[in-house]
Chains A and B, each alone.
Chain A
Amino acid sequence: MTTKVLRLNVNGEDTLVPVGPMATLQEVLRDKLELTSVKVGCAQGGCGSCSVLIDGELRLACLTPAEAADGCTVTTLEGLNESNSIVPIQQSFIENYAAQCGFCTPGMLVATKALLERNPKPSRDEIIEALSGNLCRCTGYLPIIKAVEDAAAALSGKQSA
């Protein structure tokens, strides 16, 4: 078993992480770097609760071999929190009661952030498409869709002002 040292930029910090051959990015982020917003819902790409940004693109950490992220910039919800860029989205989730048990919420927030970065004024159908990889067991999705609509409106209003 060969251990390789990965060079990652995680949430703005350059990090060296030793990993074994079969490690996933999910294991590196949760177990080695203690970034527990990256949830383990299914570990097979079925639920979206481990959503992260790799070089700004929405990715599932559970399906990403850690070595594939070597040299990449990785952003988890913790990193978005530090930059405050997520606050209007979080506020909208709170105001729309878009979280109940909260397990899916980090993935939903990261997926929403990725959507609004590339499409600041998404239609309802585009929002639903963007969230289609994220499962929620509690809310029935309607409050989450509304939260994304309101967050988009709040953010685009701020940009045009």
Chain B
Amino acid sequence: MHILFAILAGTTIVTSRNVNAMLAKKIGAIESTFFNYFVGLLLSIVVFFFSKEAILPLFIPEGFSDVIMYLGGILGVVAIIISNFITPKISAFLMTLLIFISQLITGIVLDFFLYGEFSLPKVIGGFLVLIGLIYNLYLDKKDNTETAK
């Protein structure tokens, strides 16, 4: 079940990115990011309302791990602003590749710190995922250059 959820997260990322890109063409990238969070906040409040989860008071962060867990939402915005900035300056192929590479390497490092052990299957698996992505991205790139000619 958790596996299916992780795959579906990829589906919703791409769908929402495409919808946001359509909106960005009309009103601008930053403005579309604003609506992304605005609509997201409204819907998550509705979902929360039906979830029967308790409203807990936010506790004051004490240690490092307390502080960083509040920063996820802000990092998301920083990532979007950076990607708006770099998208016109770099080929889609290279950008996707670089983001995927550092994403997976960071994931492996974070899991190492979280679970305290170095997982060889995760490294090998991550490397294979990367090869598969690079191969398909390369097919896209080859196709684009041929159309350009």
Q: Do the two chains belong together in a single complex? A: no
Q: B residues touching A (Cβ–Cβ < 8 Å)? A: none
